């Protein structure tokens, strides 16, 4: 580098640039104030969650015991009782929902990600799945009511499961598609080079590699479905009896679920029912959190 | 050279697909293709089933259904104006509160305000907020939000009762508790989608702003937010869609009262809550009217969601081209 005396000369007269910003400058103060504001907002946003968890643990935990988990719901003025049948009902209906939506959703995702990603039907299906994520859960209930309850003439566990399946489907499809797309092209090329057909590549390479990602989505869908109430209100209704009685499953009859129990009991004037509603909420939140953390653990183990 | 001749063609692992492979491939492709079609078919079936079941009610009540505020199953008079009003009012209130908190939370989580551990903590809080079931929020609203709000609301009514917003007392359930819980429930959606939009802004854009000597918030407010604005707007629209369709918490908190009111503390009703509360005990004629209401709700939410999805798509496309 050569020195430029002319340049240096011209800089002498100029004011020196100060690259430091004073702390007391209005701009800096404003920035600081806004940062403090952001902190306050974040702290306020955490209050509801902490309050919900506190109430669940204090009011729900007080009543939670073995009796509550294994007995049938009490009638209006009765003491004691529990919600064993509702736990079974929730698990059975989420199971039915999963049995319908998971295989179907994964197959559709395989088409969207691998077999025809740019086809018109793929674009349409993707758009529909995205739109379905925003479907009000009550509408899923109305739909299941229209196609199952009206046709079979009875409220039933399959109708509830069907409504849940409709809500699980978009989550399964969209997360599975993302997971399938993450599989490196090189691995697929290697398999194609060995003479695999496209479906062999999918079943032997793409699917196993993407499995953790797919399971993450599945667990999220299951978690969401187990907390749903609105789609069950008039598809499964509620029942004060066991789903499995004398070794036989009464699937085609009104079925209890934790969430509907919470809703029903929350409006009752009896202290016993309200305590049970809190205990059921605690169980339901624990159930949802278990599936949620499963999805996180599986997601983290992804390579 | 000789060594390779020991292997015959049958020893090779690789080879062209056999006829069976070919047919398996064909049928597998067809099955997945059908599944993709089925997603489309479900959306069509949804619209068609609910639309068809609503036709008798549409024939009976025409568009007057949308402009009448009477819901009386005994006289077979049905109209959903009050519910439409309540749905929009509670959702907009929820959107204003939840949108503000959600967007600030997204900025807070993406713009290096926090050490990684604390950021993970706040991220978990937002995710957990989304995990709590709606019905649990409803229960919490009844036993925590309403009792906490009641003295504040009644004080506001006493001192500022001449303002229409505060013109009634909060006797129990009402619009404000419902809107507050709605805000909490849509906050995670808005925060998550806005975070994605903010992360899409190229790092260089932000660095360029800092290089010009902006403070952190000048960079955020004048560069980052405008660049990500379409995505954030999409997040707000999606949050709004969620608020419109949210059922249980609102059904438990809004008071199920068929009236059009400006007051924040008076009970009201929403479309989703109307469906949830009236469907289980409805007679034949009322079910028809409820199907009409369901169709209206479905169309409104579909429209809002499509708008939100399209907006998000456009931002990621626009910014995606720039970054590459």
Chain B, nearest residue to A23 by Cα: B215
Above 90 in pLDDT, residue B323?
A: no
- CB nearest B276 (choices: A30, A128, A138): A138
Would the CB atoms of B129 and A173 count as touching at under 8 Å? no
Residues in chain A closer than 8 A to B23 (CB atoms): none
Helix (H) or strand (E) holding A248: strand A248-249
Question: In this complex, do B24 and A197 lie within 8 Å of one another by their Cβ atoms?
Answer: yes
Residue B320 has a pLDDT of 59
The percent of residues above 70 in pLDDT, for chain A, comes to 92
ipTM over the 0.90 cut-off? no
pLDDT one-digit tens code per residue, B251-266? 999 988 888 988 899 9
Q: Tell me the shortest Cα–Cα distance from B26 to chain A, in angstroms.
A: 8
- Among the partner residues B36, B294, B298, nearest to A108 by beta-carbon distance: B36
CA nearest A45 in B: which residue?
B101
Cβ-Cβ contacts under 8 Å, B128 against chain A: 49, 289
Chain B CB contacts of A115 below 8 Å:
29, 32-33
Mean pLDDT of B210-239: 90
Residue positions counted in chain A: 303
Q: How would residue A186 be classed by pLDDT, with cut points 50, 70 and 90?
A: very high
Residue contact B252–A134, C-beta within 8 A: no
Gap between the Cα atoms of A40 and B219, Å rounded: 20
Mean pLDDT of A64-71: 88
| pLDDT for position B150 | 92
Indicate yes or no: CB of A229 within 8 angstroms of CB of B218.
Answer: no
Q: DSSP letter for A74, please.
A: P
Q: What's the alpha-carbon Rg for chain A, to the nearest Å?
A: 28
Residue of chain B nearest A18, judged by CA positions:
B213
**Using a CB-CB distance cutoff of 8 angstroms, which residues of chain B are in contact with residue A41?**
100-101, 104-105, 108
Q: Minimal Cα distance from B39: which residue of A?
A: A125
What residues contact B191, with CB distance under 8 A and at least 6 apart?
Answer: B101, B102, B103, B105, B106, B109, B126
Is A291 at the interface with chain B, CB within 8 A? Answer: no
- Tell me how crowded residue A81 is: count the other CB atoms within 10 A of its CB: 17
* Mean of pLDDT values over A149-177: 93
- Ordered by start, the domain boundaries in chain B are 1-61, 66-319
Per-residue pLDDT, averaged over A174-197, amounts to 91
Provide CB contacts within 8 A for A51, sequence distance 6+.
B140, B144
Q: Which domains does chain A have, with CATH numbers?
A: 86-300 (1.10.3720.10)
Q: Residue B214 corresponds to which tokens in the numbers above?
A: 């902006």
Given a contact cutoff of 8 angstroms between Cβ atoms, the answer to whether B96 and B186 are in contact is no
pLDDT category, B322, cuts 50, 70, 90?
Answer: very low
How far is the C-alpha of B79 from the C-alpha of B66, rounded, in Å?
Answer: 6
Q: Which of B90, B140, B250 to mutate to test the interface with A (most CBs of A within 10 A)?
A: B140
Distance from CA of A249 to the nearest CA of B (A): 24
- Distance between CA atoms of residues B91 and B183, nearest Å: 8
Model confidence pLDDT, tens digit, residues B83-94: 999 999 999 999
How high does pLDDT run on average in chain B? 88
Residues 247-276 of B with CB under 8 A from A: 247-248, 251-252, 272, 275-276
Q: How far apart are CA A36 and CA B218, in angstroms?
A: 15
Chain A and chain B share a number of CB contacts under 8 A equal to 259
Determine phi and psi for A194, rounding to 5 degrees.
Answer: -80, -5
Mean pLDDT of A250-275: 90
pLDDT tens for each residue of A28-59: 899 999 999 999 999 999 999 999 999 999 99
Asked if the Cβ–Cβ distance from B49 to A285 is below 8 Å, we say: no
| Homologous superfamily, domain B66-319 | MetI-like (1.10.3720.10)
Q: Do B301 and A134 count as a contact with CB atoms less than 8 A apart?
A: yes
Give the model's pLDDT for residue A261: 95
The pLDDT score that the predictor gives to residue A243 is 81
pLDDT of residue B31: 93
3-class secondary structure for chain B?
CHHHHCCCHHHCCCCCCCHHHHHHHHHHHHHHHHHHHHHHHHHHHHHHHHHHHHHHHHHHHCCHHHHCCCEECCCCEECCHHHHHHHHHHHHHHHHHHHHHHHHHHHHHHCCCCCHHHHHHHHHHHHHHHHCCHHHHHHHHHHHHHHHHHHHHHHHHHHHCCCHHHCCCCCCCCHHHHHHHHHHHHHHHHHHHHHHHHHHCCHHHHHHHHHCCCCHHHHHHHHHHHHCHHHHHHHHHHHHHHHHHCCHHHHHHCCCCCCCCCCCCCCCCCHHHHHHHHHHHCCHHHHHHHHHHHHHHHHHHHHHHHHHHHHHHHHHHHHHHHHC
Tell me what pLDDT residue A156 has: 92
Rounded CA separation A90/A21 (Å)? 60
Whole-Å CA distances, B322 to A221, A238, B244, B318 = 34, 54, 34, 7
- A10-24, B115-129, B195-209: range with lowest mean pLDDT: A10-24
d(CA B96, CA B186): 11
- The pTM of this model reads 0.89
Chain B CB within 8 Å of residue A237 CB: yes
pLDDT tens digits along A87-96:
999 999 999 9
C-beta of residue B36 within 8 angstroms of C-beta of residue A108 = yes
User: How far from each other are the two terminal CA atoms of chain B, in whole angstroms?
Assistant: 49
By Cβ distance, the residue of A115, A136, A194 closest to B272 is A136
User: What is the C-alpha to C-alpha distance for residues B324 and B316, in angstroms, rounded to an integer?
Assistant: 12
């Amino acid at each position: 580098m050569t020195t430029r005396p002319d340049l240096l000369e011209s800089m002498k007269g100029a004011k020196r640039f100060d690259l430091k910003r004073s702390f007391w400058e209005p701009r800096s103060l404003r920035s600081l104030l806004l940062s403090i504001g952001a902190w306050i907002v974040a702290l306020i946003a955490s209050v509801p969650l902490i309050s919900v968890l506190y109430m669940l643990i204090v009011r729900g935990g007080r009543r939670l015991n073995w009796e509550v988990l294994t007995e049938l719901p009490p009638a209006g003025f009765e003491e004691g009782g529990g919600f064993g049948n509702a736990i079974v009902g929730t698990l059975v209906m989420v199971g039915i929902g999963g049995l319908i939506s998971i295989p179907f959703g994964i197959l559709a995702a395989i088409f969207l990600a691998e077999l025809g990603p740019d086809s018109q039907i793929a674009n349409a299906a993707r758009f529909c799945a995205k739109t379905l994520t925003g479907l009000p859960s009550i509408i899923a209930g109305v739909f299941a009511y229209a196609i199952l309850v009206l046709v079979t003439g009875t409220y039933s566990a399959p109708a509830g499961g069907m409504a849940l399946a409709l809500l699980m489907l978009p989550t399964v499809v969209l997360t599975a598609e993302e997971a399938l797309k993450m599989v490196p092209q090189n691995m697929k090329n290697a398999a194609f080079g060995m003479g695999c057909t496209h479906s062999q590549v999918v079943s032997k390479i793409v699917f196993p590699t993407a499995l953790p990602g797919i399971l993450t989505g599945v667990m999220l869908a299951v978690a969401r479905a187990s907390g749903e109430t609105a789609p069950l209100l008039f598809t499964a209704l509620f029942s004060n009896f066991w789903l499995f009685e004398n070794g036989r499953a009464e699937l085609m009859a009104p079925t209890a679920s934790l969430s509907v129990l919470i809703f029903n009991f929350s409006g009752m004037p009896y202290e016993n029912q309200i305590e049970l509603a809190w205990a059921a909420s605690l169980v339901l939140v624990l159930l949802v959190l278990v599936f949620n953390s499963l999805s996180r653990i599986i997601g983290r183990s992804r390579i | 050279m000789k060594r390779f001749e020991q292997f015959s063609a049958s020893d090779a692992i690789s080879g062209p697909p056999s006829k069976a492979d070919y047919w398996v491939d064909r049928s597998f492709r067809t099955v997945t293709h059908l599944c993709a079609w089925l997603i489309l078919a479900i959306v069509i079936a949804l619209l068609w089933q609910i639309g068809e079941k609503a036709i008798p009610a549409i024939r009976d009540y025409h568009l007057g259904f949308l402009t009448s505020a009477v819901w009386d199953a005994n006289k077979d008079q049905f109209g959903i104006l009050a519910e439409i009003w309540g749905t929009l009012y509670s959702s907009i209130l929820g959107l204003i509160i939840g949108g503000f908190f959600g967007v600030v939370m997204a900025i807070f989580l993406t713009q290096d305000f926090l050490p990684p551990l604390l950021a993970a903590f706040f991220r978990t809080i937002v995710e957990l907020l989304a995990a709590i079931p709606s019905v649990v929020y409803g229960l919490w609203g009844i036993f925590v939000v309403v009792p906490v709000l009641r003295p504040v609301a009644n004080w506001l009514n006493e001192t500022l009762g001449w303002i229409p917003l505060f013109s009634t007392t909060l006797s129990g359930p009402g619009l404000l508790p419902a809107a507050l819980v709605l805000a909490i429930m849509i906050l995670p959606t808005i925060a998550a989608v806005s975070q994605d939009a903010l992360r899409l802004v190229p790092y260089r854009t932000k660095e360029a702003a800092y290089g010009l000597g902006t403070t952190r918030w000048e960079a955020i407010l004048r560069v980052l937010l405008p660049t990500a604005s379409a995505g954030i707007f999409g997040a707000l629209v999606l949050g709004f869609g969620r608020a419109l369709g949210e059922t249980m918490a609102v059904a438990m908190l809004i008071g199920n009262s068929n009236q059009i009111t400006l007051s924040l503390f008076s009970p009201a009703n929403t479309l989703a809550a109307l469906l949830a509360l009236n469907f289980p005990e409805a007679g034949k004629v009322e079910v028809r009217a409820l199907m009409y209401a369901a169709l209206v709700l479905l169309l409104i939410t579909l429209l809002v969601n499509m708008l939100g999805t399209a907006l998000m798509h456009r931002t990621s496309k626009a910014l995606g081209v720039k970054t590459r």
